[in-house]
Structures are given as C-alpha cells and as structure tokens.
A and B are shown apart, each in its own frame.
Chain A
Amino acid sequence: MDFRLGENSDAFRAEARAFLDEALTPEVLELMETTGVHHDWDFHRKLVERGWLAPGWPKEFGGQGREPLEVLAFTEEFQRAGAPTYAVGTTLMIANVILRLGTEEQKKLVLPRALGGEIIIVLGFTEPESGSDVAAAQCRAVRDGDEWVINGQKMFTTNAQEADYAFMLTRTNPDVPKHQGLTTFLLPLKQPGVEIRAVHTVSGERTNLTFYTDVRVDDGMRIGEVDGGWDVMTAALTFERSGAHGGESVRLLSEMEHWAATATDDDGRPRGDDPVVRARLGRAAAENEVSTLLARRSAWVQATGGLPGVEGSMAKLFASEAITRQGADFMDMLGPDGLRSHGDPTAIEGGGAEFAFRFALGATTYGGTSEVQRNIIAQRGLGLPRAR
C-alpha cells in the first residue's frame, strides 16, 4: 500500500512549482481578478513552450506522455496556485473527442493548432433551458446542402470571446426521443450571426451567454453521426478530467493556518491557541486530506486501466461540498473581518475565505452538479434504482 504520488510525480511537481513561481506573476493574477477571465494567452503559450499544455498526451501531439499520477501532481500544483487554466481544460476535452471520433480532416485542421496553443475551444452544451438535463438541448441545426444552419442559444460558454471554436450540441431531429435527435459540431465562432454577451458571476468570473442566428457550419465540421450526438457527448463527458479537485481548499487552509500562527486576539493571545479555531482548522485539514485521497484513488483507477466513474464523482462531490462548508466556516471564524472582500487591502490573508465562499458556488455546479454526482454514486456505486 502506498499513498504517495511517486518520485517521478514529486520531481514533476517541483518543476511545476518553479514554473508557477516565475510565470504566474502578480500581473497575471491581477488581470484574472479584475476581468474575471480565467484564460491568459501569454501564460497559455508558456505552457505550450514547456510541452505542458497537455503533459499526459503522447509526444507526437506535443504532449510529454506523462502518466496519470504525474499529471495529478502537476494539476494539484496549478489548482493550488490558482493558475488560469479553464481554457486548457475545455480545449483538451474537445481535442480528445476529435482525436477519437473526429475525421482525418478535422484532426489536421484542429489538433495542431489546439495543442500548439494557437486556438482554444469552448463548450456549448448548456442552454438557458437545460443544464443537468444535457440531452434536452434545443439549439437547432438544419441541413442545407453541404452546410448546416444553426439557430439558438448557449449558456455559460466561458471564454467564447477568446475562442475559435465551440463544441456545439444541437437538436437535428425534434420528432424522436430527446437522446436520439442530437448532433454535435465544431462551430467556428468568429463569423456573422454569433453574438457573445458577457455574463458575470458572484464568483467573480466572466462567462457568456451566446446567441446563434442563421450561423452556417460545413458538414465537414460535424463530429459523429447525424442524430448520433449523444454518443459523442457520452465520450466527451468520459474524457472530462477526473483528477484533482480541492486545490483551492488547500490554498485556503494554508492562508488560515498562517493567520492562526501569526495573528493575536485583543488580549494578545495567539489565535491558534483558541480551541475553536483549532477545531475549524482541523476539520478543514481532514476534509482536504480526504479530497486529496479521493482524487488520488481516482487517478489510480485510471492508471490501472479502469474508468473512474463513481470514484471521480465521489472526488468531485466531496471536494466541492467541502469548499462550500469551508468558505462559510472560515468567514465565521474571522468574525466581521471575514466580510472584507478578496483583494481589499484590509482583508485578512488577502480575503481568501470570502473568495472561497463565492467561488464554491461554481464548484458544486460546473462539471456536473452535486445532485448529478449523487445520482451517479447512488445508481452506479450503490446499485440503487434509477432516481425519481
């Protein structure tokens, strides 16, 4: 039995840390904070230069052929540092779909530029009227000769304003059961008829609502069969990173421990001597250790040739619910000072608790809500009947 990530992973982690110390400058972090955009072209291209955009990909595609546990160590560091990698995740997820299900032309057209850091790809699953019920997508695609005409809306198309393509889930047949009338496309975004409207979240992120009016896409950009979009979606969701969750919690706890170790109360007693403070710190430490271990188990299952379905859901569910509790709990621990905003010069430890309190809202939603994860755990893990 062993719980460590291994010597190769440790070495890779050290390299990642050194890189982040240099590349993740205060300016990069400041820009993310003010714009809410978790994508930075310079940072993105620096990753490409190191072969680190997709360290787990084969070398022929610009990756490094790293093993899942090495990639996990790498991802843990990037998460903890809060690096702008949202677009890396979405681009790789769809690149993976194209690699496995795309045509040779699509691979040639997209993969070198995506893996080369020239373009990013964003996700077009969610709509104003459908989120967890992904297959209920209504955005229409109608065939017109060698082209398709797309009309509809997509929600939470994060980074669309920077992207060349959106991976679109569209309705091509409204007259059959919902899973059977879907088709997926790689839609070029920089064309007339695409309108991108900024949407701002309480978490401080900028995402988008996107509108598509008579937007044309060549049939050559269709991925999978006509009306076979659900198979493509199933594959896409399987390739979703099952790895690290909880890096933000690790950062938050180290900030709060720093506070407990250095701050004193009005009577000059160290905060860390207070049993209530200790209990809160210890509870978060337990949750973070469990988040780390669940993520490692997931990577281990993957590394041994398994598909970490239930394990991945448990890791995601636990870590995101943990930061939800911790954000609130650490704000409470700091008293009125906990209300001072992230980035305010008077905030304690930079206002990490207040930030986490808001950030957690997204954590329990994106990548499958907590309710979706619980359904997966209950049905596939515990063998309970389909949910009602």
Chain B
Amino acid sequence: MPRVRAQWGGAHAVDLNLSDEEQQLVDAFGALYAKESSTERVRAAEPLGHDAELWARLKENGALEMAVDEAHGGWGASLLDLTLVAEQHGRYLGSAPLIEAQVAARLLARLDTAAARSLLEPAISGARLVTVALHPPARGVLSFVPAGAVADDVVFLDGDKVFHAAISDTRSVIKNIGSLPAADINVPADAVELASGDGAARAFDQALDEWMTLVAGALVGMGSRSIEIGVEYVKDRKAFGVPIGSFQAVSHGLADAATAVEGSLLLTREAAWSAAVQPERTPELAALALGFSAEAAGEASYRSLHYHGGYGFMVEYDIQLYWRRAKAWPGQFGEPDAAFARAAAHRLAAIAKEA
C-alpha cells in the first residue's frame, strides 16, 4: 500500500495507513508472538489453550497496562491500538486470555465504583486474572465463560447489576473444539455487586462491544494467515502435472475468501477507529465486525484446509489449528446471525429515534 499522506477529500479524508506509533506497536507485538507463540507452542498449550510463558511475556510488555486509561493507572491505548495487537494475537493463535483480561480491566475502570477500583489494581498488575462473562447467569450458572478455566475472577451482568465473583471450586473446565480455556461457573452466593442501574448496564454493554471488536481483530489475523497458508500450499502441490493453484476451482475459492478477509480487516479497523471519532456508530460496527469476521475467517480457514486435500484434516498440519479456532472464538458470543441481529437492533433504534 502507498505510504503517502494527503488530504484529497479535505480534512478527515480516508487514510488507511498505520501511523508510525501504530506500526511500532504492530511490529513489537508481532515479534513477541513470533517468538513466544509458534505453532509448536500453540500445540503444546493444548487442550487447555493457556501458555503461561506467553501470558507472562505479554504482561511484562504492558498488555494489561496499555488497555486502561491514564487516570486509572494505565497507558491509555485506544481501542484501535488494542485491535491491532489483537490482529497479531489471532495471527499467531495466542494461547493467552489477552482480550478478556483487557476488556475486564477497561470495564472496571469505566464502572469506577470503589468496589470496581479495588479489583482494578490487581487486574492491571496481573496479580489477579479477571475475565468477563458474555452472557448473564441462567439457573445459577455462567455458561461458557471465556478464559474461565484460568481466571481468578469473573465480572458479569445480571439484570442491571454488574457483579464480581472470585472463581475457586465453582468452575468446571470445558473441553472444546477451539482449545479455549473456557469454563462453566456456578455463581457463588457471595458475589459482590460492583455497580447497578442504567449506567452499569451500559458500561457492561460497551465491554461486550469491545470484546466483539477485539475478537474480530483476532479473526482478521487468523483469516489472513489462513489465506497465506493456503496460497503457499496450492502453489507447491501438484496434481495432473500442474500446481493445483492454477485450477479455477481452487483459485476462485481463495480469491473469494481473501476478498472477505480484506473486507473484515477494513470493517474491524473501522469499528475500532470509530470508538474515538464516531462513538455513536461503535456498537453497530462492533457487532457487524464480529459477525462478518467470523464468517470470513471461517471460510478462509475452511477453504485453505480443504485445498490441502486429506492432509488438511491431519492433526499434523497447522491449518486445522486455525479452522477450529475460527469457529470457536466468536462462537463464545453466539452464531454470526446473533451478532448481525444485535447490529440491526442498533440500526433500527437509530431509525426510530430519527422518526
């Protein structure tokens, strides 16, 4: 892509370049993951899906501090910054609860009650690993809590109240297709109310928007890498005397998937960028980004896997690592249609407001 800056449409015109600072961030985390999250390490961390070494390196490099604003003792990274890091996280299939821990810390800072602040400090320092539940409890259970298998604490919404619960013997770890460190958690009787009312529910909703945006970012990274793996393979592999990438039955599937992945990158970065510039659009865009990126990464990893022929579903080949996670990471929220429906609800509400 050209690295020219200009103002052809006047002020505030399209510029898809990363700033120097953003590029440095991408380079720094890209290097960290390349070293600490090779596919050998990813495999070694299965089935739990938690690599304590990687998590330690991420924390040392400020992955938690950066997520929180300066007033609350953090470095004040933007949602776009975090999304660029999440792209690298997904690209290298990071076996660490990065996204959940960042989202939880930001939520605690946003709630800003005394109870929330007291949990924020250990959350930022990494002394306690705090995660968020994506769904309210049903029959006393928080189902499929991301990072629930390794977290010390969970923050969840019930009605218009946000609670905190320490996780001890209340969890049951879930074996799952994505090797995600997820767990079902029984809500303990001594869960602590952190905040309540409309503001608390809105703050929690915003945390969900952020989780969706960051997971969408991870899916962008997974989708991009899946395309690269597939392209490398079909250039090398020969059938009927020619590389299989010369068959349109193969190349067209990759062209469609690559187009969708590029679209998911633009949509996800736009969602993240909007948080600072057009926050009224962020809830809609975040949900669109999650639904679209889930399907794009799913299709990219499936196509890539399928064009490997029988090798694609051998455990030994890396593409299956992507294919399983592309389904699982967004699936913790729900199917893509659930994300699309959430976005449509925001759009319809905006139409009703205008009318």
Cα separation A257 to B344 with both chains bound (whole Å): 9
Cα separation A321 to B251 with both chains bound (whole Å): 17
Instruction: With both chains docked as a complex, state the minimum distance between the C-beta of A210 and any C-beta of chain B, in angstroms.
Output: 31
User: Residue among B8, B273, B288 with the most chain A CB within 10 A?
Assistant: B8
A286 touches B (CB below 8 Å): yes
B235 near A383 with CB under 8 A, answer yes
A279 near B344 with CB under 8 A, answer yes
Per-residue CB proximity of A76-112 to B under 8 Å, as 1/0? 0000000000000000000000000000000000000
- Summarize A's interface: helix, strand, loop or mixed: helix
Instruction: With both chains docked as a complex, state the minimum distance between the C-beta of B39 and any C-beta of chain A, in angstroms.
Output: 22
A318 near B259 with CB under 8 A, answer yes
A135 touches B (CB below 8 Å): no
B256 touches A (CB below 8 Å): yes
Residue in chain B with minimal CB distance to A271 = B348
Contact of B8 among A6, A275, A278 (CB under 8 A): A6
Q: List the one stretch of B144-152, B239-247, B312-320 in contact with chain A.
A: B239-247
B44 touches A (CB below 8 Å): no
B267: A residues at CB distance < 8 A:
286, 289-290, 293
Number of CB contacts from chain A to chain B under 8 A: 222
* With A6-B12, A68-B8: A285-B340 Cβ-Cβ less than 8 Å: yes
A141 touches B (CB below 8 Å): no
B14 near A282 with CB under 8 A, answer no
Q: List the one stretch of A117-125, A216-224, A372-380 in contact with chain B.
A: A372-380
User: Residue among A10, A73, A283 with the most chain B CB within 10 A?
Assistant: A283
A282 near B344 with CB under 8 A, answer yes
Cα separation A303 to B277 with both chains bound (whole Å): 23
A356 touches B (CB below 8 Å): no
Would you list which residues of chain A between 332 and 388 have a CB under 8 Å from chain B? 371, 373-375, 377-379, 381-388
- Summarize B's interface: helix, strand, loop or mixed: helix
B258 near A2 with CB under 8 A, answer no
Contact of A301 among B2, B285, B342 (CB under 8 A): B2
19 residue pairs bridging A and B, Cβ less than 8 Å apart: A2-B14, A2-B15, A3-B273, A257-B344, A261-B352, A275-B337, A279-B344, A281-B344, A282-B287, A282-B342, A286-B340, A293-B267, A303-B6, A314-B262, A378-B245, A382-B231, A384-B245, A384-B246, A388-B248
Query: Known pairs A70-B8, A282-B291, A289-B267. 7 more at Cβ < 8 A?
Result: A1-B269, A7-B12, A275-B337, A285-B284, A293-B270, A294-B263, A386-B246
User: Which residues of A pack against B, CB within 8 Å?
Assistant: 1-11, 67-70, 73, 257-258, 260-261, 272, 275, 277-283, 285-287, 289-290, 293-294, 296-297, 299-301, 303-306, 314, 317-318, 321, 371, 373-375, 377-379, 381-388
User: Which residues of B pack against A, CB within 8 Å?
Assistant: 1-2, 4, 6-19, 22, 80, 227, 231, 234-235, 242-243, 245-248, 251-252, 254-256, 258-260, 262-264, 266-267, 269-270, 273-274, 277, 284-285, 287-289, 291-292, 336-345, 347-348, 351-352, 355
